[in-house]
Amino acid sequence: MIEVEVKVKIDNKEEISKKLKELGFKYIKKKFQEDIYFNGIDRDFKKTDEALRIRDEDGNFFITYKGPKLDNISKTREEIEVKIEDKEKMRKILKKLGFKEVPPIRKIREIYKKGDIEASIDEVDSLGTFLELEKPVKSMEEKDNALKEILTILKALNISNDNIIRKSYLELRGSQ
C-alpha cells in the first residue's frame, strides 16, 4: 500500500479543528502513540530514507516498514504494517538482529475522517503541533490525483504549500 501524506506545522489547533469540521471531516478519536524507531543494520535509514518502527497505540502494537519517499512534495511512501501481540519481545528480537534503537517519539493524535482521507492533529513531545493529511492508494497511477485532492484541502484550510514539511518527526528532532 502507498500512503499519500502531507504534513504541516500549525500553531492554531482549535481553528484548524473547526475548519476541518466545516469541510465535512468528522472527529473520530484521540490516541496516545509511542513510536520506537530503529536504524538499519547494513545501511543508514536516514540516508536511504527508510524507517522501521514499533508503534504502541493505546496498548495496541504494530511493526511498520516505510520505504523511501516517492515524490518531491509530499511524504508519500510505501508502508507495510503488521499488528503484533507484544511490544517488548518484538523490540528484543529487532535488537538481537542488530537494529539500533533511537529514543521514542511520543504524541497525542486527534483523528478526523472524510471518506478515505484522514486528518491528524498531532501534539508531539518537544516538537509542537502538526497537521497530517493522508490518503491510502493502491497504485502509483492513483497517487497524483490523491495528492491533488490533499493540496485542495490544504488550500481550503488557508495553509500555504510553503508550510509543507517532508521531514519525519524523527528527523525534525534530529536524533536519528
Q: Catalytic amino acids?
A: 37
Residue 136 within binding range of its own copies, rule CB under 8 A: no
The residues pairing with 34 across neighbouring beta strands, listed in sequence order, are 56, 106
Residue 125 in grid coordinates = 513531545
Q: Which residue, 92 or 167, has its beta carbon nearer to its own copies?
A: 92
Residue 73 within binding range of its own copies, rule CB under 8 A: no
Q: Which residue, 67 or 104, has its beta carbon nearer to its own copies?
A: 67
Contact stretch for its own copies (CB under 8 A) within 5-13, 93-101, 111-119, 157-165: 93-101
Q: Are the beta carbons of 133 and 113 closer than 8 angstroms?
A: no
Cβ-Cβ contacts under 8 Å for 116 (sequence gap 6 or more) = 135, 136
Q: Which residue, 102 or 108, has its beta carbon nearer to its own copies?
A: 102
CA-to-CA separations, 57 to 90, 117, 133, 176, in angstroms, rounded = 15, 20, 19, 21
Residue 92 within binding range of its own copies, rule CB under 8 A: yes
The number of residues in the chain equals 176
Among 70, 84, 102, 108, binds its own copies (CB under 8 A): 84
Residue given cell 504494517 in the structure block: 81
The residues pairing with 55 across neighbouring beta strands, listed in sequence order, are 35, 62
Among 21, 30, 83, 148, binds its own copies (CB under 8 A): 83
Residue 138 within binding range of its own copies, rule CB under 8 A: no
Binding mask 23-62 for its own copies (x = CB under 8 A): -----------------xxxx------x-x----------
Least Å distance between CB 85 and its own copies?
4
CB atoms within 10 A of CB 130: 20
Strands 128-137 and 117-124: what pairing?
A: antiparallel
Binding residues for its own copies (CB under 8 A): 40-43, 50, 52, 63-65, 67, 80-86, 89-90, 92-93, 96-98
